[in-house]
Structure 1
Amino acid sequence: MEAAVQRISPLQQPYPSPVQQSFDAIMPAGIAPLLLFTTMASSERAWSKFRAGSLLDGRLLTLREREIVIDRTCARTGCEYEWGVHIAKFAEKARITAIDIAELLAVPANAGHWTAAEATLIATVDALHERATLTDEEFGNLRTHYGDDQILEIIMLAGFYRTVSYLANGLDLPLEADGAKFAEYRT
């Protein structure tokens, strides 16, 4: 099988000092930066803008809530690259089980599997994915479980990971070696 050709060449080592510092801040010690990161970092402007929108500080949502939004968004956009990274790196820490992962891939969603707040997150991602808006009822459901700052975070997080999905899918990034694969969890 012929190796895939990168559509945009990733930045190669040695990385410029500011880029290396940003990689060091987001990657565990001794782990190479993701291909998405090195590809984005090939453009100083793109990397700067990408980093500014990440929302991964964990201040407003729990790790589990954040990962449900990210995983559902990436699943709905068919972005196996980013979905696989998040499943491999965060699912266990976020207490997302193999059954949860399969449910996050299922369309339509099985609301009965989730807590009411989690089902609302999934319904929100689905509505944004399908219509790029929320009805008054959908927004009211969000408000039942989350405050205004959290609602803004949820919508921004879904939007950011839709952008990440566009990037990974549009650049046709090969899956990370340790990334999860859709087929491992689809029922």
Structure 2
Amino acid sequence: MSRIKALSEPYPDEVRAAFDKIMGVGVPPLVLFSTIASSDRAWRKFRGGSLLDGSLLTLRQRELVIDRVCARTGCEYEWGVHVMAFAQAAGLTREEVAGTLEYPLRLEHWKEEEAALLAMIDALHDRAALSDEEFLNIRAHFDDDQVLEILMLAGFYRTVSYIANGLALPLEQNAASFSEYRNEVNACI
């Protein structure tokens, strides 16, 4: 049970339309969405994030950022939702998904661009900053607009992690769990 009561049906028309747009018509909203939507102001602010349009990063790049942020913040809820919903479409193998849980990362198991991306997320998580070397490393693979997108995406999903973890949201049905992938991480180490 969430610590803040989720909005329940019947949803206001505007909220129902937003849920249908995000989830698909008639698909129940995620607990995260219905909980945030219990506050009109929070729901408007949350939806303003608008970082999942796919215009600057590939789906694979986006999901690596999200999965790593959620893994590092211990947000099994959102990590599990993204693994369930996007890992296959993003072309992430089961081993790569498990690799997002590793700490420290074994960067040699990733393509150079992906290693730079994941190392950036770790630096931001650990210090909320990038060294000059880390910035040059990410800039070798991404332009200014993409770097800003990565920073905003990482920050947004840290916020999502705060919400999901702070409210102790229950895992979604059929969502991936850390435990089912941690065994693979341990077997590889």
CA displacement at 1:178 relative to structure 2: 1.2
Q: Distance in 1 between matches of 2:179 and 2:83?
A: 13
Letter in 2 for 1:108: P
Aligned-pair distance for 1:115?
A: 0.7
Matching residue of 2:86: 90
Residue in structure 2 matched with residue 38 of structure 1 by the alignment:
34
The residue aligned with 1:164 is 160
**Number of residue pairs aligned between Structure 1 and Structure 2:** 183
Match of 1:78 among 59, 68, 74: 74
Partner of 2:97: 101
What are the equivalent positions in structure 2 for 1:139-154 lying under 5 Å apart? 139-154=135-150
Structure 2 vs 1, CA of residues 8 and 44 (structure 1 numbering), >3 Å: closer, same or farther? same
Q: Match of 2:56?
A: 60
Q: Would you say 1:9 and 2:5 are equivalent positions?
A: yes
Deviations 1:31-79 (A, max 9, x none): 2110000000000000000010140000000000000000000000000
* Runs of 5+ unmatched residues, structure 1: none
- Residue 124 (str. 1) matches residue 91 (str. 2): no
The residue number in structure 2 matching 1:112 is 108
Q: Distance in 2 between matches of 1:34 and 1:40?
A: 10
Q: Is the 8 A contact 1:54 1:160 kept in 2?
A: no
In 2: Cα distance, 1:121 partner to 1:165 partner: 19
Q: Give the C-alpha shift of residue 120 in structure 1.
A: 0.6
User: Which runs of 5 or more structure 2 residues have no equivalent in the other structure?
Assistant: none
Instruction: Return the letter of the residue paired with 1:87.
Output: V
Shift of 1:6: 2.4
The answer as to 2:170 corresponding to 1:179 is no
TM-score normalised according to structure 1 size: 0.96
- Deviation for aligned residue 1:102: 1.1
Distance 2:39 2:21 in 1: 19
CA contact (8 A) 2:20 2:26 kept: no
TM-score (ref. length: structure 2): 0.95
TM-superposed CA distance for 1:172, in Å, is: 0.3
Alignment RMSD (CA, Å): 0.8
Residue identity in the other structure for 2:96: D
